[in-house]
């Protein structure tokens, strides 16, 4: 069975479980648990190695049970494995069964049992899991989009940065691991990675990441595991990266931190009423104290780079023009870092509609009094660019010109201006009100030329997609209300 057919087979069962209130994300979690248990058995049989799991948690104990006994045992297995401190514990982090019908759990076990997963090479297993993740992001746009960055964009950023096998790569908001996987694939293709010691070190030591959401960490850990990344412990962990500086420093930080409102939490006041209070992160290494998540992630990244470290960070437009803390941080970025490149991204490539984002590329500069950023090069990949998720999706080739313009690190002095790529000296930036870096110069053809809009059939398809998403949300609410009333 080929990759696409296997993805379709495994994914189609999600629609059966959805009728029981199991979300796509929860289904993907259950698939992760069962896949690992099945592959553990296959590895033991193929290599003659002892199982990584206690006897009572192994795959054959699930295969032989049915009904309530299966349901109870599966829950017990998840509870035991979630308490481990090795890579198994990360893969089963806060795991619990979300499948209420034992008969359907048994059918899912048989579905997994019918394939020989270890017989597939590492790349194929990883591709299959990536396919499931992408389907999940497409089906659950409201949630998955926050941690699923378009893979063509990730690939282009990694190609531009060009990481080496001896460089540490970190993602403080790793999501499903897209940046880490792309960096790994890029680095292992380098001649230096042909050395066995270097290859092992690359797999086990050079990649790391955090995410605050346990379910996402599990998906990421499984994704990396199926791509052959990691040793006895998982490269990723559940952690709020903004809480504190743990002292680790990284050569490269590649990330797309979560967008959204200012951080806050809910409390019950003395009168018993619920109130929201803003959550600010107070850290000695932060320049400003703010509840703005994007500014806090930017400050964190500035802190964790090595002395010669580099970063490529996806940030929303407001980071470029917001006053107050935003202006203060932009001044800091331009002074103490070589903020050399800004990529303006188009709308239509994200699972959340209307997102306006950019990629900030900067290097840590040696300490000193002089301004580190001598010039900022801006590439406008937004104006007059029309992409949609289904009808006209972003492709890696769409970013070929940007990668060519970006050039190699040691040859940035050879950059040349073009229609989409412009140079702005520091003195020019300093004259802008509040150091506003929301810079554009191309004329928006759609404002005057109706022919520049997407074709009517593409617009109609996007409207249908939006309506389907709204209908899916209503179904979910109705299902929950029905369960509440029957309970």
326-339: pLDDT as tens digits = 999 999 999 999 99
Rounded Cα gap, residues 362 and 334, in angstroms: 9
Higher-scoring residue by pLDDT: 476, 292:
292
CA–CA distance, 435 with 414 (Å, rounded to integer): 26
Q: How many CB atoms lie within 10 A of CB 109?
A: 20
Q: pLDDT per residue over 433-458, tens digit each?
A: 999 999 999 998 765 555 555 566 65
> For residue 458, what are its two tokens?
């593409």
- Among the residues of 337-399, which ranges form H helices? none
Q: How many CB atoms lie within 10 A of CB 382?
A: 20
Q: Is the dihedral of CA 129, 131, 132, 133 positive or negative?
A: positive
Residue 266: pLDDT over 50: no
What is the secondary structure of 21-34 as a DSSP string? T--HHHHHHHHHHH
Helices 3-18 and 102-113, interaxial angle, to 10°?
Answer: 180
Alpha-carbon gap, residue 333 to 331, rounded angstroms: 5
Backbone angles phi, psi at 123, to 5 degrees: -65, -40
Bridge partners, residue 260, by sequence: none
Calculate the alpha carbon distances from 42 to 46, 65, 126, 220, 396 in Å: 6, 19, 17, 22, 36
Q: Give the Cα separation of 203 and 232 in Å (integer).
A: 11
Mean pLDDT, range 373-398, rounded to an integer: 92
Q: Return the sign of the alpha-carbon dihedral for residues 110, 114, 120, 124.
A: negative
Q: Which residues contact 487 (CB under 8 A, 6 or more apart)?
A: none
Give the pLDDT score at 145.
41
pLDDT value at 319 more than 50: yes
Mean pLDDT of the chain: 85
CA dihedral for 24, 141, 96, 267, sign (positive or negative): negative
Q: What's the pLDDT tens digit per position in 281-308? A: 888 999 999 989 999 999 999 999 999 9
CB of 335 within 8 A of CB of 372? yes
pLDDT at position 469 is 63
20 DSSP 8-state letter: T
Element of type H or E holding 47: helix 24-47
Question: What's the mean pLDDT in 64-84?
Answer: 95
- State how far the Cα of 11 lies from the Cα of 7, in Å rounded to an integer: 6
Distance CA 297, CA 478 (A): 37
Between 327 and 219, the higher pLDDT residue: 327
What share of the chain has pLDDT > 70, as a percent?
83
Alpha-carbon dihedral sign for residues 140, 143, 145, 151:
negative
Backbone angles phi, psi at 153, to 5 degrees: -65, -45
Query: Distance (Å, rounded) from C-alpha 440 to C-alpha 462?
Result: 27
* CA dist., res. 294 & res. 297, Å (int): 5
Is the confidence at residue 397, as pLDDT, over 90? yes
CATH number of 3-120: 1.20.1260.30
Q: What DSSP designation does 238 have?
A: E
d(CA 137, CA 219): 12
Q: Give the integer Cα–Cα distance in Å for 60 and 416.
A: 63
Closest CA to 174 of 234, 216, 130: 216
Alpha carbon of 75 to those of 60, 95, 206: distances in Å? Answer: 15, 9, 35
48-55 own/partner pairs: CB under 8 Å, 24+ apart: 52/88, 53/81, 53/88, 54/80
Q: Check the CA dihedral 126-131-134-135 and report its sign.
A: negative
Alpha-carbon span 219 to 25, nearest angstrom: 9
Question: What pLDDT, in 10s, does the model give residues 169-191?
Answer: 999 999 889 999 999 999 999 99
**Domain extents for the chain?**
3-120, 141-447, 455-486
Q: Is there a contact between 294 and 319 (Cβ–Cβ < 8 Å)?
A: yes
Question: What mean pLDDT is predicted for residues 22-41?
Answer: 85
Listed range (247-256, 348-357, 444-453) with the worst mean pLDDT: 444-453
Percent of the chain with pLDDT over 90: 51
Mean pLDDT of 71-99: 93
Instruction: Name the class of domain 141-447.
Output: alpha beta
The residue ranking higher by pLDDT, 278 or 2, is 2
Distance CA 382, CA 355 (A): 11
């Amino acid at each position: 069975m080929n990759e696409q057919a296997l993805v379709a087979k495994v994914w189609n069962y999600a629609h059966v479980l959805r009728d029981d209130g199991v979300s796509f994300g929860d289904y993907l979690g259950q698939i992760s648990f069962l896949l690992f248990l099945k592959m553990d058995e296959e590895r033991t049989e193929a290599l003659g190695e002892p199982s990584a799991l206690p006897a009572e948690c192994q795959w054959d104990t699930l295969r032989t049970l049915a009904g309530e006994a299966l349901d109870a045992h599966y829950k017990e297995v998840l509870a035991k494995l979630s308490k481990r401190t090795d890579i198994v514990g990360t893969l089963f982090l806060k795991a619990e069964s979300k499948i209420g019908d034992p008969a359907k759990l048994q059918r899912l076990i048989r579905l997994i049992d019918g394939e020989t997963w270890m017989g597939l090479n590492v790349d194929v297993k990883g591709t299959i899991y990536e396919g499931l993740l992408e389907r999940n992001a497409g089906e659950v746009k409201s949630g998955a989009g926050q941690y699923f960055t378009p893979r063509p964009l990730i690939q282009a950023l990694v190609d531009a940065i060009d990481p080496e096998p001896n460089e540490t790569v970190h993602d403080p908001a790793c999501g499903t691991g897209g940046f880490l996987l792309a960096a790994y694939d890029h680095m292992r293709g380098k001649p230096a990675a042909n050395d066995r010691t270097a290859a092992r070190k690359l797999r086990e030591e050079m990649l790391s990441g955090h995410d605050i959401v346990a379910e996402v960490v599990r998906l990421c850990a499984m994704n990396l595991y199926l791509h052959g990344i990691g040793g006895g412990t998982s490269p990723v962990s559940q952690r709020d990266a903004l809480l504190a500086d743990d002292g680790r420093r990284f050569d490269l930080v590649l990330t797309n931190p979560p967008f959204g409102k200012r951080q806050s939490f809910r409390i019950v006041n003395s009168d018993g009423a619920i109130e929201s209070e803003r959550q600010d992160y107070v850290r000695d290494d932060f320049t400003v104290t703010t509840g703005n998540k994007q500014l806090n992630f930017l400050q964190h990244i500035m802190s964790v780079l090595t002395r010669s470290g580099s970063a490529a960070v996806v940030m929303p437009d407001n980071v470029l023009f917001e006053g107050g803390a935003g202006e203060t941080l932009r001044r800091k970025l331009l002074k103490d870092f070589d903020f050399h490149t800004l990529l303006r991204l188009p709308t239509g490539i994200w699972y959340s509609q209307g997102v306006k984002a950019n990629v900030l590329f900067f290097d840590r500069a040696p300490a000193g009094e002089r301004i580190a950023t001598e010039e900022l090069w801006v590439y406008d990949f937004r104006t007059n660019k029309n992409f949609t998720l289904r009808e006209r999706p972003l492709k890696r080739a769409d970013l070929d010109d940007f990668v060519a313009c970006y050039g190699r690190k040691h040859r940035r002095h050879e950059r040349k201006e073009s229609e989409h790529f412009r140079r702005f000296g520091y003195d020019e930036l300093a004259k802008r009100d509040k150091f506003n870096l929301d810079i554009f110069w191309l004329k928006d053809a759609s404002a005057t030329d109706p022919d520049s809009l997407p074709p009517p059939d593409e617009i109609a398809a996007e409207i249908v997609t939006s309506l389907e998403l709204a209908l899916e949300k209503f179904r979910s609410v109705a299902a929950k209300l029905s369960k509440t009333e029957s309970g």
